[in-house]
Amino acid sequence: MESLTIIQKIFLSLFTGLIGLAIGSFLNVVALRLLSKEDFVQGRSKCPKCEHLIAWYDNIPVISYILLGGKCRKCNERISIQYPVVEIITAVLFVVLVGTFGISLKTLFLIFLTCNLIVITITDIREKYIFDINSIPIIPIGLAYNFFNIGQNSAITVNIFGISFNDVFISAVIAAIAGAVFFEVFSRIGLLLAGEYAFGTGDSILAAALGAWFGWKLLIIILILSFISQIFVGVPAVVYSMHKDKDYKSIWAMGTLLFSMVFTFLGRYFTAKEEPFIALAMILLSFVIAGISIYFILKRARERQSYTFLPFGPSMVLGAFIVMFFGANFIGYFH
């Protein structure tokens, strides 16, 4: 990309953006037809309200939405804002991918991953469901991506039983297994404590897929970012549900859970001050308080039969995109 002139870079960005808009339009179709159990390969687009077939000039990404005022030409019903939003996001991601990684096989693989992650986000937000057709195939492709070192992230070869593997591929295999096991274990803990699975099977498969692409170190970062983003969205929703049920004891428990994070930061502080025993005590105290708080919250939720379910897939996807573009900045935390 450095060898290109400014004009060539602008032209490439525009061309990539247009492709992204077109593919984003198709991803909308894929996601919505998967949810309605329709064939997303064949058949023209139609209005979901009146089922009128959409003419090509009313199906131009973003532009048609603007010209039609966000309404169907036939029935005048509102068209979901999802359509232009997904198209624009896809276009922006495509432009950033090409701008960051250039025109390469790596970029092509990451575009494939991006398309699947976008569809996963749509279906999980709309119906809290991740389809196997979007999540399972990206596991072997992610492993192949690392086995052949397409991302050019490995310079070390490890010999196992006389067979040579690069270290990134080994990390990817470990992460794929660990990602699935992590969510399956915590899902069943939720079942044990609250009578409901804490995570869906789709979350386990998605975690395995992201592990296969990014390896165990970056998978940890993805999960941390996921839980942080989920807190910002989930805590207000859960507290609102508690307030609606007048369950003020659970609200206090939620406050205690958030307060437990203070001890985590204290642990980090004492680590920096080279006081390992105090740091360990602070971290353990944080886990104990958090564990008791979570147990009480789940127990109360089971008693009043009130659960607030939020899709976790979009949070993992957000973490994956952050790591995709800024992963190198996080690796330093492991040294």
Q: Where are the domains of the chain?
A: 1-103
The helix/strand/coil state of 199 is coil
> What pLDDT sits at residue 328?
78
Nearest to 238 by CA among 315, 156, 310, 314: 310
Q: Which helix (H) or strand (E) holds 170?
A: helix 167-194
Rounded to whole angstroms, the Cα distance separating 90 from 293 reads 40
Mean pLDDT computed over 280-299: 81
Dihedral sign from CA coordinates of 64, 121, 236, 225:
negative
* pLDDT tens digits for range 214-248: 999 899 899 988 888 887 877 787 777 777 888 88
Q: pLDDT category, 47, cuts 50, 70, 90?
A: confident
Q: Which residue in 118, 150, 120, 122 sits closest to 132, CA to CA?
A: 120
Considering only CA atoms, which of 172, 123, 120, 114 is closest in space to residue 143? 172
Q: What residues have CB less than 8 Å from 110, skipping those under 6 apart?
A: 97, 101, 324
User: 190 pLDDT band (50/70/90 cuts)?
Assistant: low
Kindly indicate the confidence band of residue 140, based on its pLDDT and cuts at 50, 70 and 90: very high
SS3 306: coil
pLDDT of residue 333 exceeding 70, the answer is no
How many of the other CB atoms lie within 10 Å of CB of 203? 27
pLDDT digits (tens, 9 = 90+) for 54-104: 888 889 999 999 999 999 988 999 989 999 999 999 999 999 999 999 999
Model confidence band, residue 304 (pLDDT cutoffs 50, 70, 90): low
Output the CA angle 288-296-233, nearest 5 degrees: 90
CA angle 115, 119, 122 (to 5 degrees): 140
Helices (H), 195-247: 201-244
* CA separation for the pair 209, 140 (Å, rounded): 8
- Round to whole Å and give the CA distance between 288 and 190: 17
Q: In the chain, count H helices and then E strands.
A: 11, 2
CA–CA separation, 84 vs 25, rounded Å?
8
Q: Which residues pair with 158 in a beta bridge?
A: 165
Q: Comparing 163 with 283, which gets the higher pLDDT?
A: 283
The predicted pLDDT at position 172 comes to 95
Phi, psi (rounded to 5 degrees) for 53: -65, 135
pLDDT at 196: 66
Mean pLDDT of 147-162: 78
Q: Quickly state the pLDDT bin for 113 (edges 50, 70, 90).
A: very high
Reported as a pLDDT band with limits 50, 70 and 90, residue 306 is low
| Nearest residue to 107 (alpha-carbon basis) of 165, 151, 143 | 151
